[in-house]
Amino acid sequence: MNKIITIVGARPQFVKAATLSRQFNLLGIQELIIHTGQHFDANMSEVFFEEMEIPKPAYQLDIHGLTHGAMTGRMLEGIEEILINEKPDGVLVYGDTNSTLAGALAASKLHIPVIHVEAGLRSFNMEMPEEINRILTDRISNILFCPTDTALNNLKNEGFSTMPIQIFKSGDVMQDAALYYAEKAEMKSDILRQINLPKFVLGTIHRQENTDSIEKLTNIVAGLNEINRQIPVVVPIHPRTRNILKQQNIIPEFILIAPVGYFDMIMLLKTCELVITDSGGVQKEAFFFGKHCITLREQTEWIELVENGFNILVGSDSLKLAQAFESFKAKKSDFLVDLYGNGKAAEKIAEILKKA
C-alpha cells in the first residue's frame, strides 16, 4: 500500500496514530488523517500536535454531541465522500469508537481494504457500545492487527480463521507511544511539582457505567476514601463527574485535580505507587510503567493483565477494592514480561502494510 487514510475521533486515537505515522513516513507511505470530531477536545490545540509530533488532520468533520445513530450516520456520509475523492489503497481505523465503525463501513461499501488496529479485543458485554463497534469492525475488515494472544484467540473462537481475512499479532501501539513519549514527558510536565507528594496512588473514574450509577459511584468514592487514609489518592477528574459528585452530595476525601494531558499522565503513572482506574487504556499504561492496577470494572479486554497478576478486577465493590489494595501492598512482579510487543508494534504493522 502506498496511500492510506487513517480515521480518528478522539485524542487517545491520535496518540496511537502518531506511532504509525512516524513509521509510514520512514517507509514512504502517504497518509492522510480524517478527524471526525467525535470527542470534542479543547486541549487539541496547535501545541498538542507540535508537542506530540502528530500530523495535522487533512480533513476535519466536526461531528460530535449527537446520538450514536446520528453521529455514526453523519460520519459515514462525510467519510464516504472523502474516500471517493482520495481513492486510497486502504483505510486504517483504531479501536472501538463510533468513528472506527463509520470509517470501516464507508470503506468496505466502497470495496477499499479496511485495516483494524487493536482487533480481536472483547469485553463480552454487549451493553457497551464499544463492544458492538469492535465486533462489527473486525467482521468487515480485511487486515486485522491483534495486540495480544488473547485477541488472536477471540478471533479464532469466532471463526475468523475460516474467513478471507489476514490476521497478524502485532503487539500494542500504546506501548510504543508510552515508551516514545516517556522521555519527553520528563521535560514537558510540571505535574509532580504541582501535587508535591512523595508517595501517592493514582485514580481515574470516567466510565458512564460508574459515573451514572449513584450506587456505584458512592461505593467507589467510599473505597478510595478508605485508601486515602493510608496513602494520598490523586484523581484527575472530568468536570462532568465532579458535578455529579456535588449534585449527589458524594464527598471525596481524596485529592481531585483537573483533567491532565498525556505528558502529565505519564509522569503520574511513572511516579505513583499503584493505579486504580476504570479506563481500558490506563490499565495497560500502568503495566507499561511497572505499576499494579486495580480495575473498577467487572470485566476487561486486557485479560492477560489479570491472568498474570498485574491487575485485579473489583467492579464498584468497596470491600473488594480494599482487599485488592492490601494484596498489592507488598507484591513484587516482573513487568519486563512481553505481553504487548515491547514497543515494536507500529514498526511491524507499517512493514506489513507496505508489502500489502
- Cβ neighbours, 10 Å, residue 36: 29
Q: Where are the alpha helices (DSSP H) in 308-344?
A: 318-328
Element housing 14 (H / E): helix 11-27
For Cα atoms 331, 336, 341, give the angle at the middle one, nearest 5 degrees. Answer: 135
Question: Is the Cβ–Cβ distance between 87 and 4 less than 8 Å?
Answer: no
**Which residues participate in catalysis according to the annotation?**
206
Which residue from 94, 64, 59, 66 is spatially nearest to 80, judged by alpha carbons? 59
d(CA 229, CA 31): 50
Reading the block at residue 178, the C-alpha cell is 508510552
At a CB cut-off of 8 Å and minimum separation 6, what does 97 contact? 9, 10, 13, 38, 39, 130, 133
Which residue from 347, 235, 232 is spatially nearest to 282, judged by alpha carbons? 235
d(CA 303, CA 309): 10
- Cβ neighbours, 10 Å, residue 174: 25
Which residue from 174, 139, 162, 142 is spatially nearest to 352, judged by alpha carbons? 142
Dump the DSSP string for 17-83. HHHHHHHHHHHT-EEEEEE--SS--TT-SHHHHHHHT-PPPSEE----SS-HHHHHHHHHHHHHHHH
